[in-house]
Amino acid sequence: MGINVPAKYCDDVADLDQNFLSRDNDAEKVKNTLNLPDRIYNGTELIVAKPKQIPDSQFNLHSEYLLLINSNSTTLAHLDPLMQNLLSKSNTGCAIFFTKNSPCVKTCSKPGGRYSIIPALEMFKQHKGPKAFVFSQVWKHDEDKPEWGENLGEINKRIPVFRCDRTNCVPCVENNVINDSYGSNNQYALGINVPVQFCNENADLTNFLPNDTAQQVRNEMNGRDRIYKGDQLIGARPKRIGSTTNNYHTEYLLLIKSMSERLSKFDPLMQTLLNSNPAGCTIFFTLNSPCVQTCSTPKGRYSIIPALRMFNNRGGPKAFVFKELWDEGDNRWENNIKEIEASIPVYRCVANQCTRCVNGNQVNRRCLRNN
């Protein structure tokens, strides 16, 4: 989507009053328009697009292409490019181009590609007001691809790039240096096993994880092993498989095999942590829901489902928690989440609000969709 609003709305302390997107604030109208054949909403200060199938093909025109280059619409063609048309309404407005997934390296963000958006982003160079190119998550097929870092730099030459979640925005390039934490996928997983009193609703978190300091955890998870093993906390980030471009997933590293000479005697690390306090409160957290391709598919080679049986006989409180949906729209996830639930209760927690994902064999929609 793209917006171009008065610059005052982009101040740090902006008051998003009733005049913010006042002519485009009918969310239902926007949604309904996006579901029409054009797949595009063209408003006064807001434009939005969803992928549009290429006729007689299994492929889609990507949403970035539709807004930045060619709407592929007979009713809107005279306004193309739609983002340029939006910018022309106010050269000093606050302009933000947002895409949920980072532009794919195969077509959209590839500088010389047929459908590349890079040349189109030149339009922002002449814009005098605040501007930003924002994405929420790295496209799952581009995680840790070197090309994405390169393409990110190309986008940033034309418009500042930020990665934003529900609580925070971080610049992806600073002083011509790519911020690796946000230019690639920031996936991580954690396991804790703490005294039960810390899991009460009104728990006093004084002396919570006293021997597992944040800096120590961060340093070791960014180190060669990509794993932290502490007294009451374990953590992992994706770990490259040899010289390939693929990673061992964080859930696999903690629940099955650490792939570490230093830590292999403690494998599975989560089982060792559980053994340290059989009656403690244990939580396994992963930023992104386990992928259906490998981690959460019951009989897959790298499936975590059998490993989760370690939680079956736990006496204390327990929970499997995720924040973001990795495979939104993949029907297999609904079945896989039930497989996880068979061993440990599953929750989705976002912004201090947690939703129980499975009740009576019914999966809560909030655990299947982002909206």
Grade residue 300 by pLDDT with cuts at 50, 70 and 90.
confident
The amino acid present at 297, given as its one-letter code, is T
pLDDT tens sequence across 58-108: 899 999 999 999 999 999 999 999 999 999 999 999 999 999 999 999 899
Residues 190 and 287: their CA atoms lie apart, in Å, by 9
Contacts of 52 (CB under 8 A, 6+ apart): 38, 39, 40, 60, 61, 66, 72
Q: What is the DSSP string of 345-369?
A: -EEEEETTEEEE-EETTEEPGGGT-
Task: Report residue 151 as tokens.
Answer: 């393409």
Is residue 183 over pLDDT 50?
A: no
Q: 22 has which bridge partners?
A: none
Residues 339 and 303: their CA atoms lie apart, in Å, by 11
Q: Which one-letter DSSP state was computed for residue 184?
A: S
3-state SS of 114-143?
A: CCCCCHHHHHHHHCCCCEEEEEEECCHHHC
Dihedral angle, C-alpha 142, 147, 252, 308, nearest 10 °: -20
Grade residue 134 by pLDDT with cuts at 50, 70 and 90.
very high
Task: State if pTM tops 0.85.
Answer: no
CB atoms < 10 A from the CB of 119, how many?
12
Please name the helix (run of DSSP H) or strand (run of DSSP E) that holds residue 323, with its range, or none. Answer: strand 318-324
Is residue 348 over pLDDT 60?
A: yes
Ranked by mean pLDDT, the top range of 162-176, 318-332, 354-368 is 354-368
Grade residue 290 by pLDDT with cuts at 50, 70 and 90.
very high
Is residue 181 over pLDDT 60?
A: no
Q: Where would I find the beta strands (DSSP E) of 12-156?
A: 40-42, 46-49, 52-53, 60-61, 94-101, 131-137
CB atoms < 10 A from the CB of 158, how many?
18
Is 261:196 a contact under the CB 8 Å cutoff? no
Task: Report residue 86 as tokens.
Answer: 């939006």
| Average pLDDT for the chain | 91
Is residue 136 over pLDDT 60?
A: yes
Q: Which one-letter DSSP state was computed for residue 211?
A: T
pLDDT tens sequence across 192-233: 999 999 998 888 888 899 999 988 998 898 888 999 999 999
- Nearest C-alpha neighbor of 30 from the set 45, 10, 8, 11: 45
Q: Tokens 């927690």 sit at which residue?
A: 349
How high is the pLDDT of residue 182?
46
Please name the helix (run of DSSP H) or strand (run of DSSP E) that holds residue 63, with its range, or none. Answer: helix 63-68
Contacts of 278 (CB under 8 A, 6+ apart): 314, 315, 316
Task: Report residue 286 as tokens.
Answer: 């992963």
DSSP helix/strand/coil, 254 = helix
How high is the pLDDT of residue 167?
64
The amino acid present at 307, given as its one-letter code, is A
Quote the Cα angle for 260-229-285, to 5°. 105
CB atoms < 10 A from the CB of 71, how many?
26
Percent of the chain with pLDDT over 90: 67
Residues 308 and 256: their CA atoms lie apart, in Å, by 9
Contacts of 287 (CB under 8 A, 6+ apart): 186, 187, 188, 189, 322, 323, 324
pLDDT tens sequence across 270-283: 999 999 999 999 99
